[in-house]
A and B are shown apart, each in its own frame.
Chain A
Amino acid sequence: MSDDLYHDALVALARAATGAGRLEAASASATRDNPLCGDRVTFDVRVESGRVAALAHRVRGCVVCQAAAAFLASAAPGRGRSELAAARGQVAAMLEDGAAPPPGAWEGLRIFEPVGTVRSRHGCVLLPFDTLDDALRGAEE
């Protein structure tokens, strides 16, 4: 994996913008922003039997933030809130403590490994995770 923050795979993931848009008949929506850099993420989710059935997102932000939202659009469907919270914990550990990227289903998070060296940008990866969690919590209420 490249040490460059904006390596090709990350840029490609952001450009693909998987899941970008609005979701009709969403169970819940949530928006969060980063007060330091202005990045803003909105997630719409439809939840069925406690699992993500469909989602869509709108991101105003940097390439890293766009890539993280696109990653979740691919990885989150079929998963429940606690599973996603665990993945958030793993990606935070990878960024902050240099922990090994999670194996298995979340292996794709490796793409964000180079962000770990730039502390000020950790939030760019985590913002979509936290926003999605807000939306899923909203869907439970």
Chain B
Amino acid sequence: MNILVINSGSSSLKYELYDMKDESVLASGHVERIGMETSIVSQEARGKPDAREVSEILDHTAAVRKVLELLTHDEFGVLTAISDIEAVGHRVVHGGESFSESVLVNADVKKKIRDLFDLAPLHNPAHMAGILAVEANMPDVPQAVVFDTAFHQTMPPTSYMYAIPQVLYRKHKIRRYGFHGTSVDFVSRGAAELLGRPLEELKLIVCHIGNGASCTAVLHGKSHDTSMGLTPLEGLMMGTRSGDLDPAVVPYTINKEDLTLSEVNSMLNKHSGLLAVSGLSSDMREIIQAMQDGDEKAKLAFDMYTYRIRKYIGAYAAAMNGLDAVVFTAGVGENSDIVRASVCEGLTFLGIRLDEARNAVRSQEARAITTDDSKVAVLVVPTNEELLIARDTFQLVRQAAKLQPAGGIRKGWIE
């Protein structure tokens, strides 16, 4: 069964085509600058030459049409007909309180995603455009939606409520939702596999450290608490986001600098974090380079960044009254041994003993980077949100079709 995974942005669309027989990627690509006369489509397909084309793609429907054309193209494509795609899975950022798991798209689901536009004004409308575009091009193909927030719907109210007037929760659903759920779900299963223990008895802290960054306390396989909140701004310090700060800073700054709401939003989301403290870059690699060259501001940025991750690990170990493993994932988490070492340095009181040689290894594999006698393991588990979306879509479609579960689907997924 072939499944197309789509991540639809306001002016871009990324896609992967999976063959679920062996969970391999048949083709992947992206469309950029949707809505312009010079849109760019590029695709890499297994055993076929790379394709790249500049043309006018005015909306998401035209973008999906172009993707389908490329996937079935004589020279660049891997499919003989569009009907070879049996289902489409979409990433959706915000599922609010309506979705605690992935679902197949129907009229009710679409309405609920629309109702959540206010909570994710930059993302959900773009995802909806992607869903409608697939519908227009392939009306009979089932579609599934996988939410970044769904995994965190298991959090208890002690974790998700803010201590502000409750009318704000009742009226506007202002609460902690958390993000990166698909990734946390994926890597915590990988961590359990690697540890050789059932996920249901583990206390894990997953640090998804990429351009956006969050920590999640995964208690017995379920999200217990997470650092991102109503929006992805809360929690850890990030590339250009401030993370936690005294909320009074916002009105105080608005008043002192005569800022509008959109200016202060932009300041906290796009002009803060590593970029603001270092004055150099939002990219951790450049920060580390500058720090090693003796730049003091870069060092402060780096130290603040790792200090905050350490604080969250300490807090979540306390929240779960124990800890079996810390799991690093996503761009920085998977690739920066220096960040991992710096975070773990101050966590020896938990019984973490980092193995420097293991930490220094660069690899695409899930692995432990602590010594064998470390009381708490530290793992690196590469994330793969697209694959999880493909799997969820596959499962949902199969359930709906009431097919016999085929064996071997989950086998070998950690390699």
Chains A and B form a bound pair: no
Binding site for B on A (CB under 8 A): none
